[in-house]
Amino acid sequence: MEQNDPQLSGSATQRERIAHGLRGFGPFGLIAIVVIIFAGNPASGVLVLVWAWASQTPWRDIGYVRPTNWIGSTIVGIVLGVALKFVLKAVVMPLLGADPINNAYHYLVGNRAALPGVLFAVIVGAGFSEETVFRGFMFERFGRLFGRSVRATVAVVLLTSAWFAVAHYPDQGIDGVKQAACTGLVFGSIYAVTGRLWTVMVAHAAFDVTAVAMIYLDRESAVAHLFFK
């Protein structure tokens, strides 16, 4: 009969301890959360994937579920993101008293040289990283704390949306907070219902690419005044 190798058994035990520590809310788990939150995009998103692997958390628990229809889910995400940006810019943000011009990114008007870096930031940094962190990771973490009831899920949507909104204050000010609160509620609600990140990732990227296009073409004010002069 084969005997178990004590070294292999010890390694397995050590891996389990690390995984347990990362999944929990002791010092090890809390340090992991802080590092992920403050790493910045897109590093934060990558670190969530490392955390899921090291903590032996199933990919589905952070929303990484294969779509049943990749093309259909992608199209839905694009349409949702573009439509949401136009609705917010033309209707919601004017009602909230927002400046029609996003001054933080107004330098992009006609600035072709800046487009590659900005598009990378909004597609990878926002679409992939922010959704992986604020929806996938935070929903998993808060879900473990609060449970999975309807009331708990509503609380998680509200809490993560508020956190997501505040995170936009340093570079976009109060108007950025207002817009991020709206998008956070929409994306968070969709994720809470579906448990899948792909469509939300695509929608977020499409939303931000549409925003960049509006700024680059200098059409922000025109869209913002479609209904409110």
Average pLDDT over residues 38-63: 96
227 vs 1, residue with greater confidence: 227
**Number of continuous H segments (helices) and E segments (strands) in the chain:** 11, 0
pLDDT, residue 1, reads 40
d(CA 179, CA 210): 14
DSSP symbol at 197? -
Q: pLDDT tens for residues 56-90? A: 999 999 999 999 999 999 999 999 999 999 999 99
Which residue is it, tokens 């499409």? 206
Q: pLDDT tens for residues 168-189? A: 999 999 999 999 999 999 999 9
pTM here is 0.92
Reduced to 3 states, what is the DSSP secondary structure of residue 52? helix
